[in-house]
């Protein structure tokens, strides 16, 4: 509540000089606020362009150090690994997700071997990179089946934990999966493995470049509206978070970011838990392409990222994370 009135109260006084503006700023960004997504590909000595995502690349496992070294040097606390699986390894049930020699397992082992605990590793728990139909779950009678999918997700989670993953991130949006994954982890003596639940993941049109990056765009049949959230709903988001927290989620994710700042704020105010935001591929590509074409200024990157913090996000998954030192003012 503002007390006082003009002319005795002039809010512009505090904005007059740079040093004063810095003293009263309410939100700041630091490298510690960021998670860097990394895409993996098969092969050796590869760094591959992603045409729909300017300045973002896929890396072969033996070239991971190229991007991990950069992340550690800049103070990024965690990376998130995503695989692009060869088409011949995909099938209806996503069995490659349970292969202990798959890309994600190789990536975890490589990072832990070289860097120990200098940087955290987050792994996606979902089947969509591995299925021939591009969905996050198993299909039966043209329906995404919930409970059978959870069993596959439990096995995927246990494998990733065994390889050394620090933070498991179920992004599938199956009902009840967080509790069952937590129970399985604890039973297998992985009590310290954290769960970052994609508790609020909307069925969005902004995911296209990501699906290009992991190779699921062309294979996706239909849409994901029967399990991802309706973007018209907000109360439902709070119900999803309440369930996941009760089931044992250590942190929750809102995906995606900019159109859902109101959701981030509501969750933070109601639950007082760590809330992460994902600045998704569509947001990133729109901003980056607009900057390249000189439609908007590059300062727009900072402006969008600070909006997540202002809404209450503890951390941000962003493809700009590896350049954050050049973005922060």
Confidence class of residue 329 from pLDDT cuts 50, 70 and 90?
Answer: low
Residue 19 placed within a domain: no
How would DSSP label each residue in 278-329?
A: E--HHHHHHHHHHHHTTSS-TTHHHHHHHHHHHHT-SEEE-TTGGGHHHH--
Q: Known catalytic residues?
A: 201, 255
Q: What is the pLDDT, as a whole number, of residue 217? A: 76
Among 30, 193, 199, smallest CA distance to 121 is for 193
| Residue pair 41/86 in contact by the 8 Å Cβ criterion | no
How would DSSP label each residue in 113-170?
A: HHHTTSSEEEEEE-STTTBTT--SSEEETTEEEHHHHHHHHHHHHHHHHHHT-SEEEE
Q: Residue 288 burial by CB count (10 A; 0-12/13-18/19+): exposed, middle or buried?
A: buried
Contacts of 217 (CB under 8 A, 6+ apart): 134, 208, 211
Can you tell me the distance from the alpha carbon of 211 to that of 205, in angstroms, rounded to the nearest whole number? Answer: 11
Can you tell me the distance from the alpha carbon of 151 to that of 266, in angstroms, rounded to the nearest whole number? Answer: 32
Can you tell me the distance from the alpha carbon of 165 to that of 157, in angstroms, rounded to the nearest whole number? Answer: 9
Can you tell me the distance from the alpha carbon of 316 to that of 248, in angstroms, rounded to the nearest whole number? Answer: 21
Q: What is the pTM of this model?
A: 0.95
Sign, CA torsion 261/206/155/39? negative
Residue 23 placed within a domain: no
Element holding 45 (H helix, E strand)? none
The two tokens of residue 305 are: 């990222």
The count of other CB atoms within 10 Å of the CB of residue 298 is: 14
Does residue 66 surpass a pLDDT of 70? Answer: yes
Residue 18 placed within a domain: no
Residue 3 placed within a domain: no
Task: Give the domain range for residue 204.
Answer: 29-327
Angle formed at CA 130 by CA 196 and CA 207, multiple of 5 degrees: 60
pLDDT per position as a tens digit, 160-205: 999 999 999 999 999 999 999 999 999 999 999 999 999 999 999 9
| Residue pair 292/317 in contact by the 8 Å Cβ criterion | no
pLDDT per position as a tens digit, 89-121: 999 999 999 999 999 999 999 999 999 999 999
Does residue 240 surpass a pLDDT of 70? Answer: yes
Can you tell me the distance from the alpha carbon of 179 to that of 280, in angstroms, rounded to the nearest whole number? Answer: 26
Q: State the average pLDDT over residues 237-244.
A: 98
Residue 134 placed within a domain: yes
Among 156, 161, 165, smallest CA distance to 186 is for 161
Confidence class of residue 34 from pLDDT cuts 50, 70 and 90?
Answer: very high
Confidence class of residue 216 from pLDDT cuts 50, 70 and 90?
Answer: confident
Give the total number of structural domains in the chain.
Answer: 1
CATH at 311 = 3.20.20.70
Q: HSE of 195 in the Cβ direction (CA atoms, 13 Å)?
A: 30
Residue 21 placed within a domain: no
The count of other CB atoms within 10 Å of the CB of residue 96 is: 21
Residue 6 placed within a domain: no
Q: What is the pLDDT, as a whole number, of residue 1? A: 67
């Amino acid at each position: 509540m503002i007390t006082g009135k003009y002319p005795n109260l002039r809010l512009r006084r505090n904005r007059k000089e740079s040093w004063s503006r810095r003293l009263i700023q309410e939100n700041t960004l630091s490298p510690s606020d960021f998670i860097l997504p990394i895409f993996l590909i098969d092969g050796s000595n590869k760094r591959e362009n992603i045409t729909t995502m300017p300045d973002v690349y896929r890396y072969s496992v033996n070239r991971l150090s190229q991007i991990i070294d950069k992340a550690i040097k800049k103070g990024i606390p965690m990376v998130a690994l995503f695989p692009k699986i060869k088409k011949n390894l995909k099938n209806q049930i996503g069995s490659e997700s349970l292969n202990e020699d798959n890309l994600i397992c190789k990536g975890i082992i490589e990072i832990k071997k070289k860097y120990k605990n200098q940087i955290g590793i987050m792994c996606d728990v979902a089947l969509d990179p591995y299925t021939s139909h591009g969905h996050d779950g198993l299909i039966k009678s043209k329906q995404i089946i919930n409970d059978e999918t959870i069993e596959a997700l439990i096995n995927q989670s246990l494998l990733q934990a065994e390889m050394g993953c620090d933070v498991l991130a179920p992004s599938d949006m199956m009902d009840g999966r967080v509790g069952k994954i937590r129970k399985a982890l604890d039973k297998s003596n992985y009590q310290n493995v954290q769960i970052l639940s994609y508790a609020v993941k909307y069925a969005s049109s902004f995911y296209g470049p990501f699906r290009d990056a992991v190779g699921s765009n062309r294979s996706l049949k239909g849409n994901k509206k029967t399990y991802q959230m309706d973007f018209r709903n907000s109360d439902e988001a709070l119900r999803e978070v309440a369930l996941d927290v009760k089931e044992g989620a250590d942190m929750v994710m809102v995906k995606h970011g900019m159109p859902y700042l109101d959701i981030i704020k509501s969750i933070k105010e109601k639950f007082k838990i760590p809330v992460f935001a994902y600045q998704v591929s569509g947001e990133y590509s729109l901003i980056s392409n607009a900057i390249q074409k000189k439609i908007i200024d590059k300062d727009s990157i900072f402006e969008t990222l600070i909006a997540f913090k202002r809404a209450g996000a503890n951390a941000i998954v962003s493809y700009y994370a590896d350049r954050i030192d050049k973005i922060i003012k």
